[in-house]
Amino acid sequence: MENLVIIGSGPAGLTAGIYAARAGLKPLVLEGLESGGQLMQTRHVANYPGFAATVGGAEIIAAIRAQAEAAGVRFKMDVVEKVDFTGETKQLFTMMGDTLEARAVIVATGAGVTKTGLPGEAKFFGHGISACLTCDGAFYKDRTVVVVGDGAAATGAVNYLTRLGATVAAVLAPGAIASFEGDTALRAVRPADGADIAADGVFLVTARTPQTQFLGDALAKDATGHLVVTDQVKTSVAGVFAAGDCARPRHKQAVIAAGDGALAALEAAAYLG
């Protein structure tokens, strides 16, 4: 029987681990398929406190992980496929065939970027194609960008980027694009119909998908699949907490996820207390 199992090893899960270990809970972190989480996908983080110069996401994660290991957090490479939260003891069924039992659980499984799947996207994602205005908008001052998306999200993105001094050359729905073009850097967006649109950057403002499907209906979710929380981190089941992007429909940022992780661990400690 574990005291506390933390599902996810991004900024939320790792920070929850640090706080829980320091509270004497001997937490177990299940890393999932993406050890370190989304931040591992970027080489340019300029807004994480404590790193004055732009730094790779992997460096930030390595620093947080080293701190977690030093605090005594245990790690396991496994993926939770199903849960049973109906009893006081929480049960987690994993890809490796284990059934883990825990007194408390923190879900910190993040949210995936909904990509277009178009040619050139994989090559330039994180190096010219971004899904995060808050993270990367400021890199495009005095440069030209294309916004991919529609509705209020696209309008908001245009306003935000213009305010930062970028020129928005076009707003296109994913279906109107044939490919993303470039050599060592992104150079243009090729519409399905028409001439290439020169661009230094592309912002995907398509929806993000919280990684909560494996929970089935064990926890309350909103219409977009984000976990519903009260007091910022308490889910619909006592003893199960949520932290980071999986429970944040707005403002998906590493520092916010880390803060949620700390709060979830403190609430878990209070619950177990």
Ligand X SMILES: Cc1cc2nc3c(=O)[nH]c(=O)nc-3n(C[C@H](O)[C@H](O)[C@H](O)COP(=O)(O)OP(=O)(O)OC[C@H]3O[C@@H](n4cnc5c(N)ncnc54)[C@H](O)[C@@H]3O)c2cc1C
Nearer to ligand X by Cβ, of 13 and 201: the residue is 13
What's the min distance (Å) between Cβ of 84 and ligand X? 15
Nearer to ligand X by Cβ, of 98 and 196: the residue is 98
DSSP SS3 for 13: helix
Residue of 23, 45, 118, 202 that binds ligand X (CB under 6 A): 45
| 110-139 binders of ligand X (CB under 6 A) | 110, 113, 126, 131-132, 135
Strands (E), the chain: 2-7, 28-30, 74-76, 80-84, 90-94, 99-107, 111-113, 129-130, 144-148, 167-172, 177-182, 186-191, 197-198, 201-204, 208-210, 240-242
Number of residues forming the site for ligand X (CB under 6 A): 40
Helix, strand, coil percentages (3-state) for the chain, rounded to 5, are 30, 30, 40
Please list the alpha-helical segments (H only) found in 82-238: 121-124, 133-136, 151-163
Residues 6+ apart with CB under 8 A from 75: 9, 28, 29, 31, 69
What's the min distance (Å) between Cβ of 8 and ligand X? 3
Residue window 8-27: x/- pattern of binding to ligand X, with contact defined by CB under 6 A:
xxxxxx--------------
Nearer to ligand X by Cβ, of 19 and 193: the residue is 19
- Residue 224: C-alpha distances to residues 126, 163, 227, 242, 256 (Å): 24, 29, 9, 16, 19
CB 136 within 8 A of CB 41: no
What's the min distance (Å) between Cβ of 143 and ligand X? 17
Phi-psi region of 120 (alpha: psi -120 to 50; beta: other; left: phi over 0): left
Q: Is 80 in the site for ligand X (CB under 6 A)?
A: yes
Q: Binding segment for ligand X among 116-124, 146-154, 226-234, 250-258 (CB under 6 A)?
A: 250-258
Residue of 2, 34, 121, 200 that binds ligand X (CB under 6 A): 34
Distance, CA of 186 to CA of 182 (rounded, Å)? 4
Distance, CA of 50 to CA of 29 (rounded, Å)? 24
Residue with tokens 């209020």: 152
DSSP bridge partners of 4: 104
Tokens (6 digits) for 35: 């050890």
Residue of 28, 38, 182, 208 that binds ligand X (CB under 6 A): 38
Residue window 200-219: x/- pattern of binding to ligand X, with contact defined by CB under 6 A:
-----------x--x-----
Q: Binding segment for ligand X among 3-11, 137-145, 163-171, 183-191 (CB under 6 A)?
A: 3-11
What's the min distance (Å) between Cβ of 109 and ligand X? 4
Nearer to ligand X by Cβ, of 57 and 239: the residue is 57
Q: Is 91 in the site for ligand X (CB under 6 A)?
A: no
Residues 6+ apart with CB under 8 A from 217: none
Q: Is 240 in the site for ligand X (CB under 6 A)?
A: no
Residue of 30, 204, 219, 229 that binds ligand X (CB under 6 A): 30
| List of residues contacting ligand X (CB under 6 A) | 7-13, 30-35, 37-39, 41-42, 45, 47-48, 79-80, 108-110, 113, 126, 131-132, 135, 211, 214, 244-245, 252-255, 257
